[in-house]
């Protein structure tokens, strides 16, 4: 076939050829992707097989094999905690991450009054990193390792479901005492006011007030003006 085609027919042919080429490129890309997924699927199947095998053996010690296995799963992007949980606690990656987090966060948390909401932690860590960011799941998983590794930080979940990181040395009793003292001297406080006075976030101020209430040291007044907390006079003042 001669390539010399003048006029509109020539242009149309050229366009047609170009279209075919891109078409081929696209379908090739998808074929590769299919192959890749097929291979990954085999990996997934294999890992599930191994998971059931580990289950049969019922090992509760962190054996090297399961640690290795978890690293495999992590690189695949399959989190299969239901079957993994009993076979090695967390992953090597999360453990290393936990150590790193402890070194980064100890000072900022100390400056923050010994406690920081997990969402704040997430912002700080990822802002500092810039690249290779952490996923929320990774952060939570890493935080769960703190206590096992004996690091100076601790993940705590309040009754409201709010997760915070606190210094192990951060004594809750002391925080409650301070809160109750402030309540007595001011008469009553809202979470907002408390956060201003001691310079912590509103979320944490509320957490403190609720903790004091839970311990029976404070009581609440709910009205259209919002929730305010008072010292628990029901307990301290005699009946009459």
Judge contact between 171 and 178, C-beta under 8 A: no
CB of 195 to other proteins, least distance (A): 20
Residues in contact with other proteins, total (CB under 8 A)?
18
Options 19, 25, 136, 234; binder of other proteins; rule CB under 8 A:
234
By CB under 8 A, tell whether 10 contacts other proteins: no
CA distance 104 to 81: 27
Q: Dig out the tokens for 222 from the structure.
A: 């709910």
By CB under 8 A, tell whether 172 contacts other proteins: no
By CB under 8 A, tell whether 138 contacts other proteins: no
C-beta of 104 vs 227, nearer to other proteins: 227
Region at 227 (left for phi over 0; alpha for psi -120 to 50; beta for the rest): beta
Q: Which residue has the tokens 């090739």?
A: 28
Is residue 189 classed as helix, strand or coil in its secondary structure?
strand
By CB under 8 A, tell whether 29 contacts other proteins: no
Task: Compute and round to an integer the Cα radius of gyration of the chain.
Answer: 29
Q: By rule CB under 8 A, what string of x and - marks binding of each residue 175-214 to other proteins?
A: -------------x------------------------xx
C-beta of 105 vs 209, nearer to other proteins: 209
Is residue 165 classed as helix, strand or coil in its secondary structure?
strand
By CB under 8 A, tell whether 222 contacts other proteins: yes
Q: Please calculate the CA angle 53-56-61 and round it to the nearest 5 degrees.
A: 95
C-beta of 136 vs 216, nearer to other proteins: 216
By CB under 8 A, tell whether 216 contacts other proteins: yes
* Beta strands at 115-117 and 153-157: parallel, antiparallel or unpaired: unpaired
CB of 233 to other proteins, least distance (A): 6
> In the chain, where do the E strands start and end?
115-117, 153-157, 163-167, 218-223, 226-231
By CB under 8 A, tell whether 47 contacts other proteins: no
By CB under 8 A, tell whether 235 contacts other proteins: yes
Give contact residues for other proteins (rule: CB under 8 A).
188, 213-214, 216, 219-223, 228, 230, 232-235, 237, 239-240
């Amino acid at each position: 076939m001669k390539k010399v085609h003048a006029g509109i027919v020539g242009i149309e042919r050229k366009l047609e050829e170009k279209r075919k080429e891109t078409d081929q490129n696209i379908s090739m890309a998808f074929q590769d992707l299919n192959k890749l997924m097929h291979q990954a699927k085999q990996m997934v199947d294999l890992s599930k097989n191994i998971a059931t095998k580990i289950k049969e053996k019922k090992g509760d010690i962190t054996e090297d094999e399961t640690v290795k296995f978890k690293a495999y799963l992590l690189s695949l992007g399959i989190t299969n905690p239901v079957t993994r949980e009993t076979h090695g606690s967390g992953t090597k990656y999360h453990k290393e991450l936990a150590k790193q987090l402890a070194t980064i966060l100890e000072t900022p948390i100390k400056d923050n009054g010994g406690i920081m909401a997990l969402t704040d932690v997430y912002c700080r860590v990822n802002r500092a990193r810039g690249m290779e960011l952490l996923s929320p799941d990774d952060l939570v998983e890493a935080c769960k390792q703190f206590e096992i590794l004996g690091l100076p930080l601790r993940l705590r979940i309040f009754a409201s479901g709010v997760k915070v990181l606190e210094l192990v040395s951060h004594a809750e009793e002391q925080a409650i005492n301070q809160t109750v003292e402030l309540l007595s001297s001011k008469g009553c406080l809202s979470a907002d006011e408390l956060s201003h006075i001691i310079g912590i976030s509103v979320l944490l101020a509320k957490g403190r007030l609720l903790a004091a209430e839970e311990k029976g040291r404070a009581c609440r007044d709910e009205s259209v003006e919002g929730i305010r907390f008072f010292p628990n006079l029901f307990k301290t003042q005699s009946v009459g």
